[in-house]
């Protein structure tokens, strides 16, 4: 039986969510787009001190990495326990 790497999936999830949130925030803030602003406002309600700006993009990178790392690690750990 193959097990998932808790560390590997945690790091991969953290990098994907952190970089994704960074790019998403950067594009919406610099291009003044309305289509992504409402969904990013939901992210701002979840992550403290996050806002839709260039500074917020860097904060989103950090928060996104931590959040993605925790969720990916938990997913791999639960998968390994249940399989």
**pLDDT given for residue 58 in this prediction:** 96
Q: What is the pLDDT of residue 8?
A: 98
Q: Taking the domains of the chain in order of start, what are their residue ranges? A: 6-82
Tens of each residue's pLDDT in the chain, 83 residues: 789 999 999 999 999 999 999 999 999 988 877 888 888 999 999 999 999 999 999 999 999 999 999 999 999 999 999 98
* DSSP code per residue over 48-71: TT--SSHHHHHHHHHHHHHHHHHH
Is the Cβ–Cβ distance between 22 and 61 less than 8 Å? yes
Which pLDDT value is given to residue 34?
A: 80
């Amino acid at each position: 039986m193959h097990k998932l790497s808790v560390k590997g999936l945690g790091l991969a999830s953290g990098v994907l969510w952190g970089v994704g949130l960074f790019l998403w925030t950067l594009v919406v803030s610099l291009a003044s787009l309305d289509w992504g602003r409402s969904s990013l406002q939901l992210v701002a309600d979840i992550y403290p001190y996050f806002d839709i700006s260039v500074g917020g993009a860097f904060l989103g990178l950090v928060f996104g990495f931590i959040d993605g790392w925790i969720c990916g690690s938990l997913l791999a750990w639960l998968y390994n326990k249940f399989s």
